Amino acid sequence: MTNRFWAVLFGGVLLACFLMVALAPVFGYWLPRNVCVYGDDIDHLFYVILWATGFFFVLTSVLQVIAIWRWGDYDPAKRAQYSHGHLGLELLWTIAPGVILLYLTFAQIPAWSKVTYPSERPTPDQVVTVVGRQWEWRLRYPAAGVPERVRTWADGGLIDDVYVVNELHTWKGANCTLLLKTDDVLHSFYLPNFRRKQDLLPGKTVTIWVQATEANTKHDAATDTWSLDPAVGPAWEIACAELCGGRHYAMRGVVFVHPTKDDYDRWLKHTATRQRSYKPEQ
């Protein structure tokens, strides 16, 4: 009766896998909080695939465990069923997964085109140039509004541009367009909370956009400083997702989402003033 033991072992391990996925959200191990306008579309597709794959996982696991339990006690006196196949079954398990896969495929296209296609990109409220380098993010903000020629600005820049390291500042609801560049090696600009990731390619400028649905930054009028609102929870971070050398893991940045455009403008002006009045001996 060792077949029962093996059926239980297979069943137990597969059940443990199933429960781990089912219970992970309960323990807080799951998709990070989404704060981007298209994040819900992506998360929705994730759940659609999770349900479809979960169904096939349970189906195949149950069939296998049953087979081991029922037909795993080898008996030389017995004979297995003599069958070389069944056309109907073959058609069933070719066509049914095929239909589901086709549905899953075409369900992806609207979200993919919305997030990535240049033709679908919304008019920017804000543009920022991001230059990845070993090992930090250099962000450059235009001092006033969106420049007329964005690509020319991204390649050259203006004299009053504001430079910030490892901090992306935007405001709630803004179409924030990011022009990604690198001068050394590949990096990947990864915003887990915004469901956005894009590699940086030497010699190329890659444009992406994000739009925050919530704010996480507050201004302290007494000290005239900005900080993350602890009530919002963990920081919304920037990480590098493409191996770029020894400190690849340490390219950490933070996204600051100001409540309104006015708050953002005040921060930008403050930062610009501070930069211009900076003296080395201070």
Partner 1 sequence: MSVGHGTKPTTHARELGFLRKYIFSTDHKIIGIQFIFSALIFLVIGGLLALAVRLQLGWPAGDIPLIGRWFPESWGGRMSPEFYNMLFSTHATIMIFLVIIPMLAGGFGNFLIPLMVGAPDMAFPRLNMLSYWFMWPAFVSILSSFFVEGGAAGVGWTSYPTIASAMLPEGTASPATPNAGMGQTLWLVGLICVGISSMLGSINYITTIVNMRAPGMTLYRMPLTVWALFVTAILQAMALPVLTVALLLQLLDKTVGTTYFLPPAGLTFGNWQTAAGGGQPLLWQHLFWFYSHPAVYIMILPAMGMVSDILATNARKPLFGYRPMVYALAAIAGLGFIVWGHHMFQSGMDPRLGTGFMIATMLIAMPSAVKVFNWLATCWQANMNLTAAMLNALAFVSMFVIGGLSGIFMAATPVDIQIHDTYFIVAHIHYVLFMSSLFGIFAGLYFWYPKMFGRMMSEFWGKVHFALTFVLANAVFFPMHIIGIQGHPRRYYDPTLYETWAPLQPMNEFMSVAAMLLGAAQIIFVLNFLGSLFLGKRAPINPWNSNTLEWTVPSPPPHGNFETTPVVYRGPYEYAVPGEPLDHVPQTEPAK
Positions 227 through 246 that interact with partner 1 (CB under 8 A): 234-235, 237, 239-246
> Under rule CB under 8 A, which residues in 177-196 are in contact with partner 1?
183-186, 188, 190, 192-193, 195-196
Q: What is the identity of the amino acid at 71?
A: W
1 token code pair: 């009766």
Considering only 95-103, 160-168, 257-265, 268-276, which stretch makes contact with partner 1 by CB under 8 A? 95-103
Q: What is the identity of the amino acid at 276?
A: R
Return d(Cα 216, Cα 190) in angstroms, integer.
18
Q: Residue 221 Cβ, how far from partner 1 at the closest point, in Å?
A: 26
Q: Is 163 near partner 1 (CB under 8 A)?
A: no
Q: Which of 26, 203, 222, 282 binds partner 1 (CB under 8 A)?
A: 203
Return d(Cα 193, Cα 203) in angstroms, integer.
28
CB atoms within 10 A of CB 29: 9
Here's the x/- map for partner 1, 122-161, by CB under 8 A: it reads as ------------x---------------------------
> Under rule CB under 8 A, which residues in 207-226 are in contact with partner 1?
none
Q: Which of 146, 206, 232, 272 binds partner 1 (CB under 8 A)?
A: 206
Q: Residue 198 Cβ, how far from partner 1 at the closest point, in Å?
A: 6
Q: Is the Cα dihedral 182, 186, 192, 196 positive or negative? A: positive
CB atoms within 10 A of CB 182: 24
Nearest to 197 by CA among 116, 282, 89, 111: 116
Q: How many CA atoms lie within 13 A of 114 on its CB side?
A: 15
Return d(Cα 20, Cα 207) in angstroms, integer.
37
Collapsed DSSP state (helix, strand, coil) of residue 48 = helix
Q: Which of 1, 88, 105, 123 binds partner 1 (CB under 8 A)?
A: 105
Q: Is 117 near partner 1 (CB under 8 A)?
A: yes
Q: Residue 83 Cβ, how far from partner 1 at the closest point, in Å?
A: 7
Q: Residue 20 Cβ, how far from partner 1 at the closest point, in Å?
A: 6
Residue 270 is given by DSSP the state H
Q: Which residues contact 241 (CB under 8 A, 6 or more apart)?
A: 188, 189, 190, 197, 199
How many Å is the maximal CA-CA distance in the chain? 94
> Under rule CB under 8 A, which residues in 46-85 are in contact with partner 1?
46, 49-50, 52-53, 56-57, 60-61, 63-64, 67-68, 71-76, 78-85
CB nearer to partner 1: pick between 72 and 173: 72
Q: Describe the crossing of helices 87-116 and 39-71 by its angle, rounded to 10 degrees.
A: 160
CB nearer to partner 1: pick between 64 and 213: 64
Considering only 1-9, 142-150, 219-227, 258-266, which stretch makes contact with partner 1 by CB under 8 A? 1-9
Q: Residue 164 Cβ, how far from partner 1 at the closest point, in Å?
A: 19
Return d(Cα 209, Cα 118) in angstroms, integer.
10
Q: Which of 14, 143, 150, 232 binds partner 1 (CB under 8 A)?
A: 14
Q: Which of 111, 146, 232, 272 binds partner 1 (CB under 8 A)?
A: 111
